[in-house]
């Protein structure tokens, strides 16, 4: 790995690293916040998955998460949202290609070679992190915003042995029924077998299996992408399943990082309860 930067931050360190990824076939960059407790032994981990057009840097610099993570003694991991580079396939649209990996493993050309973000986040990056830093692999939780909220919910429900709790800010809730999902799934996964799509849809996964742990979801009532996010579909599936969950529509808030930074303290405290139970 190559250390790009290290800054003292709330008694700990905010670091940025890059490494060659076998999952994506590219160099990948991630942010890592280590609280002061990591000097003395392994600490629990909260994964933060970012949204469309973002890199590892957006949440790292805008969410204000480090102060609250330091208070709870929790490490934060900020992966990138897709593979990048001159040889990596891309699209002119902001919601497909680089910056729009959707946290799945693509099976269709030209995306299949590089766009393997599920494998990267679930397998390769954890193996690298837990083999290098003072992190506790038995205490992991996950959160994310927008496309990253979709990723957090899907990964939690399809890899339940990994995460003790899950939360999401304005997640894409029902991508098989939304333009934020149908377009990307058709490109990345193809249209021959839409059963694969179902395994990447939080609403359908909730109806099928749910999550054996606490769940927190916040979406703003003034979110400019509300019709694409479809929170009502996931809320209905949660109610029908009687899933352990807190689902909140926050009055007056939009899709921005002003929204995320307002509620990040509550999300980190929520995860701390599960990570330190």
Residue of 56, 255, 267, 271 marked catalytic: 255
- 256 part of the active site: no
Task: List all residues 6 or more positions away from 58 whose beta carbon is below 8 Å from its beta carbon.
Answer: 50, 51, 257
- 271 part of the active site: no
Residue of 80, 105, 201, 223 marked catalytic: 223
- The phi, psi pair for 72, rounded to 5°, reads -95, -5
- 261 part of the active site: no
Residue of 146, 165, 167, 178 marked catalytic: 146
The residues assigned a catalytic role are 146, 223, 255
């Amino acid at each position: 790995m190559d250390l790009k930067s290290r800054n003292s931050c709330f008694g700990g360190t905010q670091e940025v690293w890059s490494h060659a990824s076998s999952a994506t076939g590219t160099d990948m960059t991630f942010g890592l916040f280590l609280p002061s407790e990591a000097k003395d032994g392994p600490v629990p981990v909260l994964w933060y998955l970012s949204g469309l057009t973002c890199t590892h840097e957006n949440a790292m610099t805008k969410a204000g998460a480090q102060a609250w993570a330091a208070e709870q003694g929790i490490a934060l991991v900020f992966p990138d949202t897709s593979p990048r580079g001159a040889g990596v396939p891309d699209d002119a649209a902001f919601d497909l290609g680089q910056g729009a990996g959707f946290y799945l493993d693509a099976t269709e050309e030209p995306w299949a070679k590089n766009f393997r973000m599920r494998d990267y986040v679930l397998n390769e990056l954890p193996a690298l992190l837990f083999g290098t830093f003072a992190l506790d692999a038995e205490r992991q939780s996950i959160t994310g915003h927008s496309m990253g909220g979709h990723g957090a919910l899907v990964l939690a429900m399809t890899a339940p042995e990994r995460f003790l709790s899950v939360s999401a800010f304005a997640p894409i809730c029902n991508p098989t029924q939304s333009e934020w999902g149908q377009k990307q799934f058709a490109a990345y996964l193809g249209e021959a077998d839409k059963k694969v799509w179902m395994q990447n849809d939080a609403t359908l996964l909730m109806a099928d299996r749910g999550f054996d742990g606490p769940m927190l979801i916040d979406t703003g009532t003034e979110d400019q992408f509300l019709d694409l996010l479809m929170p009502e579909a996931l809320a209905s599936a949660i109610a029908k399943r009687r899933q352990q969950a807190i689902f909140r529509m926050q009055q007056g808030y939009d899709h921005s990082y002003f929204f995320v930074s307002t509620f990040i303290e509550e999300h980190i405290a929520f995860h701390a309860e599960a990570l330190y139970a």
